[in-house]
Amino acid sequence: MSPVARRSLFLGVLAVLPMVRAIRALAADLLPDARFVGYAQQVNDFEIGAGRLALSRSTNSNVRGFADRMIRDYTDSAERLRKVRSEAGVSFAPDPNAAPQTPAILQRLNGLQGREFDVAYANAQVSVLSNAEQQYAANSNSQSGGSSVTSSTVSGFARSEFNRVKVHREMAQALASGM
* Residue 133 lies inside a defined structural domain of this protein: yes
**What's the N-to-C CA distance of the chain in angstroms?**
57
pLDDT digits (tens, 9 = 90+) for 124-136: 999 999 999 999 9
On whether the CB atoms of residues 63 and 50 are closer than 8 A, the answer is no
* Residue 85 lies inside a defined structural domain of this protein: yes
On whether the CB atoms of residues 41 and 95 are closer than 8 A, the answer is no
- Compute the distance between CA of residue 158 and CA of residue 144 in angstroms, rounded to an integer: 12
* Residue 70 lies inside a defined structural domain of this protein: yes
* Residue 22 lies inside a defined structural domain of this protein: no
* Residue 55 lies inside a defined structural domain of this protein: yes
On whether the CB atoms of residues 146 and 93 are closer than 8 A, the answer is no
* Residue 6 lies inside a defined structural domain of this protein: no
On whether the CB atoms of residues 77 and 164 are closer than 8 A, the answer is yes
Length of the chain: 179
Residue 31 makes CB contacts below 8 A (sequence gap 6+) with: 39, 135, 138, 139, 144
Mean pLDDT of the chain: 82
pLDDT digits (tens, 9 = 90+) for 81-94: 999 999 888 887 76
> Is the confidence at residue 149, as pLDDT, over 90?
no
The domain total for the chain is 1
- Compute the distance between CA of residue 137 and CA of residue 159 in angstroms, rounded to an integer: 7
* Residue 12 lies inside a defined structural domain of this protein: no
Q: Name the residue type at position 141.
A: N
* Residue 5 lies inside a defined structural domain of this protein: no
pTM (global) more than 0.95: no
Residue 2 makes CB contacts below 8 A (sequence gap 6+) with: none
> Is the confidence at residue 141, as pLDDT, over 80?
no
Cis bond before residue 94 (omega within 30° of 0) = no
Query: Domain residues for 61?
Result: 29-177
CATH of the domain at 91: 1.20.1260.10
